A = this chain, B = another copy of it.
Amino acid sequence: MIDDSRFGLARSVTLAGPLRLDGGARLAPVEIAYETYGALNADRSNAILICHALTGDQHVASVHPRTGKPGWWTRMVGTGRPIDPARHFIVCANVLGSCLGSSGPASIDPKKDAPFAMRFPVITIRDMVRAQAMLLDHLGVGMLSAVVGGSMGGMQVLEWAATYPDRVRSAVAIATAARHSAQNIAFHEVGRQAIMADPKWNRGDYYADNDPPAAGLAVARMAAHITYLSEAGLTEKFGRRLQARPGKQDGAKSFGFDADFQIESYLRHQGISFVDRFDANSYLYITRAMDYFDLAEEHGGLLANAFDKATRFCLVSFDTDWLYPTAESRAIVHALNAAGAPVSFVELSSPFGHDAFLLDVPDLNRVVDGFLRAGENA
């Protein structure tokens, strides 16, 4: 396997397809950018799929090629971590619709020899999962020891268990929901309108001039970013502290419209730096996929119908997460109970709000580690 070019960092594959999408279109070919860590064991029983969030990518534990920053989940994935290349064969793929190498609006439409832009078909969380299943077929992985993810990654985890129950032994869904609420949709719609209001968006056709709707995308990111943090966390981190600036008396208001408060500088930085690593059209498509997500609706209106006894579940929520509050996880637990599926659920305490799943929460590692080991030893 060592010499097999399918495995390793910074891989990509073009699958012939077609991939039939929930919206009716067929996508062909299907490009998937992904990484693998560790090696499949002899009985192919140690594969773990990691699903990333809205603006995440396949670089779960490797340096991001554009930002130069460490992987986004090195706290969870790596030597001595709950998901460990020494024990596990780890796969993480850029989701369909994204912009780090998998098919998305910035990809070339073979029929036009130009980027799809808004001609890219609207996709769903289930479409993302189907593309991942095609990738696993290509990698020779039938059964997943576990599928693990937080936020939109958790939605994919739930969708994996619902769509391919025979391929998922264990499912770990963190800080997520089985459907997007009206408030969730509302925040995403603000972001989409911010992008579409930017004249540079140009109805999605901005790739030729390499002049993307940066201002609109930055505003979208700023609005979303607030929802990832808790009110208490923001108060602790920033409060009403003023920004130090040359030529300004320390701790004095400027009585102007520059960033006076630290929270303002922080948000502006979040917006501006996001633009360097993310495509505005991908932001439109992926937020749409999340808004469309409603696992119960896909199963006759009853969430319990989505689940099978074949998979064991671990659900984790955070007490300060107001984007996908604990009640959303509880609703999933109730459905799993009704379906007779084994489930362990815990609400963890953290000051970090929704972002807690990405941050230093030792209890999260203990919970995931214990759950995975119990499944492996069963």
Measuring CB to CB, which residues of chain A are less than 8 angstroms from any residue of chain B? Answer: 22-24, 118, 121-122, 179-183, 185-187, 189-190, 192-194, 196-199, 215-216, 218-219, 222-223, 226, 229, 231, 234-235, 237-240, 253, 255-257, 259-261, 263-264, 267-268, 271, 284, 288, 291-292, 294, 297, 322
Contact = CB atoms under 8 A, between A and B. Distances in A.
Q: Which of A190, A216, A297 has the most CB of B within 10 A?
A: A190
Q: Which of A180, A186, A261 has the most CB of B within 10 A?
A: A186
6 contacts: A181-B231, A181-B234, A181-B235, A182-B234, A189-B267, A197-B215
A213 to B, nearest CB: 9
Nearest to A200: B199
B239 A219 contact: no
List the 6 shortest-distance A-B pairs measured between CB atoms, nearest first.
A23-B255, A197-B215, A182-B234, A122-B255, A182-B238, A182-B263
Contacts of A180: 240
Nearest to A198: B197
Contacts of A297: 240
Given A186-B234, A189-B261, 12 more contacts: A23-B255, A118-B257, A181-B235, A182-B238, A185-B261, A193-B267, A199-B199, A253-B292, A257-B284, A257-B288, A260-B291, A322-B322
Contact of A219 (B187, B193, B259, B268): B193
A179 B241 CA distance: 12
Q: Which of A197, A260, A294 has the most CB of B within 10 A?
A: A197
A216 B240 contact: no
Contacts of A193: 218-219, 222, 267-268, 271
Contact of A263 (B189, B219, B288): B189
B215 A264 contact: no
Contacts of A263: 182, 185-186, 189
Q: Which of A121, A122, A235, A259 has the most CB of B within 10 A?
A: A122
A214 B322 CA distance: 30
B121 A255 contact: yes
Contact of A237 (B182, B226, B231): B182
A194 B182 contact: no
Contacts of A231: 181-183, 322
Contacts of A264: 185-186, 189
Nearest to A262: B182
A2 B277 CA distance: 66
Contacts of A182: 231, 234-235, 237-240, 261, 263
A299 B229 CA distance: 30
A234 B322 CA distance: 14
A150 to B, nearest CB: 20
A200 B231 CA distance: 33
Given A180-B240, A182-B239, A226 B294 contact: no
Contacts of A238: 182
A294 B294 CA distance: 42
A235 B177 CA distance: 14
Given A182-B235, A226-B183, A255 B24 contact: yes
A186 B234 CA distance: 9
A197 B222 contact: no
Contacts of A197: 194, 198, 215-216, 218-219
Contacts of A292: 253
